[in-house]
Chain A
Amino acid sequence: MDLKKTLFIAFVLLGTFEAKSQSFAGLSLGSSNNDNHIETVWFQHQLTDRFSAGVQVRYSQIRYRFVDAIAINDGSTVFGGLVLGFKLKETDRYRLNFNLTSSYRYLSNDERPDLEESTNGLELDPNILLDLKLSDRITLHTGAMLRTAMQFGETPILDEQLPSAIVLAGLSYSVNNHSVALRAYTGPMNGAAGDSMKYFNQISIGYQFTFGEKSSQFSFFNF
């Protein structure tokens, strides 16, 4: 691709991102029965009224995860991925969203060096999410996450986690361009012929900053 074409595409992309719309940036801290602690940072940009896209990076210290379908308790993971947000319906009181986070996973196995040093994987987190305004500042978030995960490498396990019945609940408090949120997940999981997580719990607290022209009274919520 020559320089002119590269500049042309870069110009169009810049124009797209400069459209009058909101952007969101945030960070969250959490803990789950997979991980002792999880840190997440993200940036999300509203591309159209109904569609937003962004990036998310996550680091975690392992509590209980599986490598080659064998449980380990020591190691770390890094996730990097794309987040797509689709607004399905919105009124003054509520908004219904479908969010899809697709993350590449790198796992460093500090416990079992006889297993692969690192494990490459893919995690898909489709979420159906309801945002319901309880007051001007407080919003209730609830919905379902159908987490699916795959392990690649020498021992591929494509059903490491099958779509699971995970319920999520959260509350966010917003003032001007600032939001803080508490979010919890709970629900059964399955996959890898039973050699996987059987139940999932996670709780996290996050902060999000909104900038750009306000286009919706609801903040993006994917902490």
Chain B
Amino acid sequence: MKVKTIILALLLSSISSVAFSQESTQTESQSIGFYFQPEYSAMFLNDHVGNAVGFGLGITTKNEKWDFGIRYYGRSGPINPKEYELVLPAGETYKGKSSIMLGHDHGFLGLEAAYNLRLKNDRLMIRIPVSFGQLGAGFYLKGDDRYTPDGERTSVWEDKLQGGSDAGFGFCSEFGAQFIYQLSAKNEHIHIMMGASYLNTYGYESFLGGKDFYNNKVRASVGFRFSF
């Protein structure tokens, strides 16, 4: 117990004694940078344009030419009003209906690398990102249909009604280009961003979505870039 008490005392004392001994500021150009890019995306799918929200974040190399980080975005159901009809097999019903309108959603999380091409105009940059990661997407019951007839979890019925594959997972790759423009000459940290990416999926399949719901598609995005 004595040893534990002494260790605790030393630990707490060290926290006190090192307080503010470190430098409170760093020189901006001497260290690895950081970027954060929140964005809205329009996904050009087979029969409609989907809405997605997400971000990229990570570090920038000292020479500011490369970004390495993660990309995370989702095409969530509540911001995508388009519905898909699920026609049940003959004789089968759900809460008395032979067909149901379903919502749909999707998410992507991957690693991202990007090359930053500086132009003669100091305020304009072309960014070429490549990302690879996992995609998950599915079709789900909406509104009152979420209250199942037997009180079972909604996801159990979603699975049952869609042949066991209401959702699917797979890998996804993206590559594209983005224009990054510094908003103010006086502030080098805030930019607006506009770009497009080309998507391919590998192994994704679901009952209503098939294999190509997200494969071979284009995503256009607008947003901000905060970089330091």
Contacts and interface: CB of A to CB of B under 8 A. Distances in A.
A198 B78 contact: yes
Contact of A12 (B9, B53, B72): B9
A144 B34 CA distance: 13
Interface in A151-201: 164-165, 167, 169, 186-190, 192-195, 198-199
Interface stretch (A24-32, A44-52, A75-83, A203-211): A44-52
A186 B31 CA distance: 31
A49 B155 contact: no
Interface in A119-161: 128, 130, 132, 140, 142-144
B8 A188 contact: no
B153 A69 contact: yes
Contacts of A216: 24
B77 to A, nearest CB: 5
B74 A187 contact: yes
Contacts, number: 149
A13 B13 CA distance: 8
Interface in A57-92: 69-71, 88-92
A84 B117 CA distance: 37
B179 interface: no
Contacts of A69: 153-155
Interface string A12-42: 1101100111000000000000000000000
Nearest to B223: A167
Interface residues of A, number: 52
Contacts of B154: 69-70, 194-195
A167 B54 CA distance: 7
A199 B78 contact: yes
B121 interface: no
Contacts of B5: 5, 8-9
- Chain B: interface secondary structure? mixed
- Chain A: interface secondary structure? mixed
A48 B20 contact: yes
Nearest to B156: A193
A198 B77 contact: yes
Contacts of B187: 93
Contacts of B205: none
Nearest to A196: B155
B75 interface: yes
Interface string B45-87: 0000000111101000000000000001111111100000000
A167 B78 CA distance: 16
Interface in B190-215: 190
Given A49-B22, A93-B189, A96-B34, A12 B140 contact: no
Interface residues of B, number: 54
B140 A50 contact: no
A70 B141 CA distance: 13
A188 B140 CA distance: 15
B9 A164 contact: no
Contact of B153 (A19, A51, A94, A195): A195
Interface in A208-223: 215-216
A15 to B, nearest CB: 6
A92 B25 CA distance: 7
Given A20-B20, A69-B155, A93-B189, A143 B36 contact: yes
Contacts of B20: 20-21, 48-49, 215
Contact of B53 (A46, A48, A92, A167): A167
14 contacts: A8-B9, A48-B20, A49-B19, A49-B20, A49-B22, A70-B154, A89-B26, A94-B189, A142-B36, A142-B224, A143-B36, A144-B57, A165-B72, A216-B24
Interface of B: 1, 5, 8-9, 12-13, 15-16, 18-22, 24-28, 31, 34, 36, 38, 52-55, 57, 72-79, 105, 107, 109, 136, 138, 140, 146, 153-155, 158, 166-167, 187, 189-190, 224, 226, 228
